[in-house]
């Protein structure tokens, strides 16, 4: 039996403590991420939002923001961090967005599969996302993906720029990792 968006919405109402995605007609229950991956995702969202919001360039969203994808199954997916240009979404919505974000970040947690995260990023890219990033706190790397282009791997000492999406934005890769306190 193939499930639809209305089924996902019903399950979310019945189980508000669970994060879920709808992929290929199946519900995927998202387990809570580990502390490290969530801290990295939060830092990326904070830095990005602090740069985007004063310039009124668009919206920066976290892992609970669901997007209805314009594919045959109408999947509902939620990247860990996403950015939507202001002209694409002038007013926010309480519902899942029927829009493709311009930029997404997926942050690998201990329970995530790198291949599944890469597939998710490729799905978004194929549907119109311009840049997708796979962030791995364990290896302290970022894979920068664009449709039809070779993946670029950034590490400490590198600066992330996404001129095609956010001209002038820079993020030092080394600054997103969880700090260690002595």
Has residue 93 been placed in a domain?
A: yes
User: Which single residue is written with the structure tokens 């994060």?
Assistant: 19
Q: What range does the domain containing 133 cover?
A: 34-175
Pick the residue with more confidence: 91 or 1?
91
Q: Work out the mean pLDDT of the chain and round it to a whole number.
A: 93
What CATH number is associated with residue 98? 3.90.1570.10
Q: How far is CA 51 from CA 38, 42, 151, 154, in A?
A: 20, 14, 25, 21
Give the separation between CA 43 and CA 179, rounded to whole angstroms.
11
Number of domains in the chain: 1
Has residue 26 been placed in a domain?
A: no
pTM to 2 decimals? 0.91
Has residue 79 been placed in a domain?
A: yes
Average pLDDT over residues 30-42: 86
């Amino acid at each position: 039996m193939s499930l639809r968006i209305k089924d996902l919405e019903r399950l979310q109402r019945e189980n508000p403590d669970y994060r879920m995605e709808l992929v290929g007609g199946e519900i995927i229950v998202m387990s809570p991420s580990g502390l490290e991956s969530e801290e990295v995702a939060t830092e990326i969202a904070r830095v990005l939002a602090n740069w985007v919001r004063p310039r009124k360039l668009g919206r920066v969203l976290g892992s609970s923001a669901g997007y209805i994808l314009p594919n045959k199954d109408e999947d509902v997916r939620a990247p860990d961090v996403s950015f939507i240009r202001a002209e694409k979404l002038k007013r926010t919505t309480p519902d899942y967005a029927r829009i493709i974000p311009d930029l997404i970040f997926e942050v690998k947690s201990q329970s995530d599969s790198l291949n599944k995260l890469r597939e998710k990023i490729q799905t978004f890219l194929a549907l119109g996302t311009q840049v997708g990033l796979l962030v791995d706190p364990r290896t302290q790397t970022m894979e920068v993906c664009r449709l039809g282009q070779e993946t670029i791997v950034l590490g400490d000492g590198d600066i992330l720029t996404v001129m095609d999406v956010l001209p002038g934005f820079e993020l030092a890769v080394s600054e997103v990792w969880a700090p260690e306190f002595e």
